[in-house]
Chain A
């Protein structure tokens, strides 16, 4: 079982990292894709994962930490099984994103930034996801869900494992 506290890639995963590194004139170019792979495998990017990935790139763990903390899609803590990210930028704001966020916090019993006690959902607010024609919208894991109403949000939540 992959463990973010004692990370180690499988032989295939290591091969994938080497493939990614070979795509760039300097292998460091593959750092973001390699970290994405690490997060998919280990669930989140712990300090141990940072150190492990740094070893694969022969670079300082401090540099990897600087990169991980710069980007919003790298999680430094475990998340729920699903991540729900509601856009609260201008177009979604104009069409009621605030009431969508309020509905989600009530329905899930968590504040923004928290994970439900059963580990099912992490709720986040995010900046523009560039699907403003479907405002108000949110991202649920890999999917965009738009033209949200409280009822539609309920149906989406009901469909999550």
Chain B
């Protein structure tokens, strides 16, 4: 009894793993794409089976491109996984220039030994995130590295989008007198991830806030006059503090924040207290900072609060003149301090 021509045993999701063949470019590698990636992302570009995608962009607009590498560990955490994070993160980068994200590419570096079931979950999660955001993954790549040379999987995504020629958003656009607004609570993502890491065993009801922000941002542009918004930035690694310091430096301005107005969930505060961390330095993956004309701040907060991702939006401070670029803060307690750049990785204190 001879085997059917071109017979391949279906991928073994029960206990199968990635091995070096999956990156080899041969039948086994093709099978991974045909059986797992392509059906998950399900669009004409991938169905065409080429190494690149032929794309259209709206006439008269400018092209925006962003790229992100994701090396997060653990791969899965409350509220998301490396896959959905990769989709949301790069979409948000494009959205931070006021652009509409149009297409995504995804490159996977898989470690030999990664469970196929884990990969399947991650890919399914990416596909769901991509579909919900309305931004298809039109091209991709897969490589495999030897066991020990990767953290399960690294994902790199690139997003392209388009922005109207009249729109000029960027970190250097903050003006003295502008308002600083955040779209919601700070520190959720970082704490959710730390709770999952092996060395921390506390249970919280905190989930990562990983989300695509472009539809919420599009609403702002739809409802506000041209020039109302000057800067958009998503406070990812290094948290709110780092993003604000970057903007201050790029724009050559200072900032004055009111600690009492910065939204932080009670449990995030408590978790940070337990860990010796400051929520202002903890990563967010579904929030943005908006620096805008002072007279538009209230309207912006109002619009954000009506959107599910912006229900806790708040004005937190103002741009001031300061050649030294300090981000200052009036503390809850009543004094003033600076919210400085973060040094290195946030290492929790014992003392």
A and B: interacting chains? no
